[in-house]
Amino acid sequence: MIVRTLGELKGSTVDVGGECWRSVRFLTRSDNVGFTVTSTVLEAGHELIIEYKNHIEANYCIDGEGEVTDLETDTVHQIRPGTLYALDKNERHKLSVFKTMHLICVFAPALLGTETPEPDGSYRNALDQSAAVAPRD
């Protein structure tokens, strides 16, 4: 069983961030569960263009407000507490943050835990990751 708290992970190697976001990775590739779970906070007033070329991502909003735009179709979806959106086809998208947002995110395959998105929105180390789950002790 894996049990972790936000408090013990803050400030560790799995607490990563960028100009307007901070993401704490609760589960990573080394946990051998096949996916990553994060607690991610995005600051109000920012827009991010993202395209996870090598991952599927689901995001559940627990606080804040914004919108996600599918850049292929220009479809806009409002994001508020209680909203989940999943990028099941690696959609290139824009996330606009109106009120600081707190998202619980799931990535498959799992992230290494320390990486940050490249300028194109993908993760550099993703190609080194296998979707297969290794047996656990």
Q: Using one digit for the tens of pLDDT, what is the confidence trace for 28-52?
A: 999 999 999 999 999 999 999 988 8
Distances (CA, A) of 4 to 10, 23, 27, 39, 124: 11, 15, 9, 12, 26
Q: Which residue reads 């007033």 in tokens?
A: 45
The string of pLDDT tens digits covering residues 64-93 is 999 999 999 999 999 999 999 999 998 999
Confidence of residue 137 (pLDDT cuts 50, 70, 90): very low
In 3-state terms, what secondary structure has residue 28?
A: coil
